[in-house]
Chain A
């Protein structure tokens, strides 16, 4: 399998009145053709900003993007806005969390899909319409020729997210970024949408980046996981490795916070403290103030230095000073079943 997307040392800064917000601080990862990567992290950890940077949607904002984003060999950080425009929808596409807000409320859904198809392909209006109906059918919307004429508010949440997917895939992109696509949906519909994404991925060989803070969704869907904290990857690896053998206190904390049927109300585990302000990042490990295990690292090293992303086992890296032997004892999460 060849690498389809490679992000190298991505940095995104937003200059604001009080200084500079460092939303992403040197993020690197690879995604192979047809594979899926789950990105997890708290709000403000830089997940969405990363995806916007890949899509080139930060180009016309005040954001300063540096590093490299190689999509099929082409560097997107250096690409012009007009090159990016042609590439959006055709090579890389994105779906968003709130499908009601993300679809234009005043246009018929079919027309919105046809418009995307038509703007990338020299086709007649009738052909664009045919394509839109075909896409609606593909994502499992019953009576697609009739629903073509409906407005977004006439669809249920799940159906609307299917419309979003139909629109994003209408020009056969090879990369789909799904930014919390199931957050606003109830659990059964969530499962259906994930199932749909999976089958599409299989059928078209699409690479998928799934952004979420739901580890359950990750375990069901992704091949690899990237755990982000304060704009950096703190742990990456295969789903099974990261979710069953976490090597970073933050990943461990996330996994321990998942309630099980046996959890009683006052026994919920939580990571104390709040995420750091991205405006003035400390010189040490960003997670240090909240880390339960910092005392196990001698010399207060965590407060002054940022650990590197180090391979702890093949294809499994983490950014932590704890030594490997210690981790096995300290970071044992409650049993987490990965459905593969």
Chain B
């Protein structure tokens, strides 16, 4: 069991490095000149050469890669020994081609926005999705079930940028029911934080909830026909025990799996939601960087996203062992 975990952790680390390698190779092959990005067409050739040198992209690719990977673990000093030397603290992801900002600092500043969005929305859609799915399963064929199913179908066919704007229009602009979406640090004011994130949470949760409601419904229906649910009933357990404990417990494993993967993906940046509501998160950052071919930021956000997806996969794998005693003992 323990060995299995160790193996999985090692495999995850190897995978992360593979992602870094491919990402770095792929994007550095793009003909984007940082010199042109930072000073425009009017630059003299000398300035351009100077900038390339300062960014350390005038050295061979293999050397660039080596320094990049090393920089993830120890402080990296650009142009060591020269007058233009500068330090980039580990984990170093380089400097923006355009603004010369440290990418790690940039991510650190943007990450709380994305995390707030992802955590709030995911809690909302998980609880909502599971509750509506259960309701739908327990009232199968009744009006409630049909209603939930229709709304779920409707929700899953919508796009965030449509429903986000429609909700903004009616709930914020016309009726002032919700505050304007904006990010305020929860350490400053927890209420403004929640208020500012509320509409993005609701929007993102509504879209994602549909899938969870349908997944829960089918899982519940399948589990309800299991022998052990009949046993629970035949022993006179109360309905709430039979449904919430015995049935839900049997149906929850695939839901948790998908939830882990979804959350992992979202922590790396919610591009569409952030853009729709003008939230300056990691997703928005990567989108801006793509428009401007700001390679260090693109690489940084991709690695950032990959990190969370890989970690989420690892956690989900380990959760299996917690959720299923058969896995726990046999491994």
For B232, what are the chain A residues with a Cβ–Cβ distance below 8 Å? 104
Cα A98 to Cα B230 in complex, Å, equals 12
- CB contacts under 8 Å to A, within B209-267, are 226-228, 230-239, 241, 246, 249-250
- CB contacts under 8 Å to B, within A131-177, are 151, 153-154, 164, 167-168, 171
Chain B min CB distance to A120 (Å)? 6
Q: Is the CB of A87 within 8 A of B236?
A: yes
For A105, what are the chain B residues with a Cβ–Cβ distance below 8 Å? 228, 250, 324-326
For A57, what are the chain B residues with a Cβ–Cβ distance below 8 Å? 230, 233-234
For B233, what are the chain A residues with a Cβ–Cβ distance below 8 Å? 57, 88
User: Known: A104-B250, A115-B241. Is A88-B228 also a contact (CB below 8 A)?
Assistant: no
User: Known: A104-B249, A106-B325. Is A167-B236 also a contact (CB below 8 A)?
Assistant: no
Cα A120 to Cα B238 in complex, Å, equals 10
Q: Is the CB of B238 within 8 A of A119?
A: yes
Q: Is the CB of B235 within 8 A of A154?
A: no
| B323 interfacial contact with A, CB 8 Å | yes
Cα A269 to Cα B130 in complex, Å, equals 55
Other-chain contact of B226, A101, A116, A167 (Cβ < 8 Å): A101
| A50 interfacial contact with B, CB 8 Å | no
| B329 interfacial contact with A, CB 8 Å | yes
| A86 interfacial contact with B, CB 8 Å | yes
| A182 interfacial contact with B, CB 8 Å | no
A-B interface contact total, Cβ < 8 Å: 75
Cα A105 to Cα B325 in complex, Å, equals 8
Chain A min CB distance to B200 (Å)? 35
Q: Is the CB of B231 within 8 A of A119?
A: no
Q: Is the CB of B227 within 8 A of A102?
A: yes
Q: Which of A55, A106, A164 has the most chain B CB within a 10 Å cutoff?
A: A106
User: Known: A102-B231, A103-B231, A105-B228. Is A153-B326 also a contact (CB below 8 A)?
Assistant: yes
- CB contacts under 8 Å to B, within A203-250, are none
| A23 interfacial contact with B, CB 8 Å | no
Chain A min CB distance to B186 (Å)? 36
Q: Is the CB of B246 within 8 A of A85?
A: no
User: Known: A120-B236, A154-B329. Is A96-B323 also a contact (CB below 8 A)?
Assistant: no
Chain A contacts to B: CB under 8 angstroms: 55, 57, 85-90, 93-94, 96, 98, 101-107, 115-116, 119-120, 151, 153-154, 164, 167-168, 171
User: Known contacts A55-B234, A101-B226, A107-B249; can you find 7 more A-B pairs with CB under 8 A?
Assistant: A96-B227, A96-B234, A103-B228, A104-B228, A104-B249, A119-B238, A167-B235
17 A-B pairs (CB sep. < 8 Å):
A85-B237, A85-B238, A85-B239, A86-B236, A88-B233, A89-B235, A96-B227, A98-B227, A102-B230, A103-B228, A104-B231, A104-B249, A105-B228, A106-B324, A107-B249, A115-B237, A151-B329
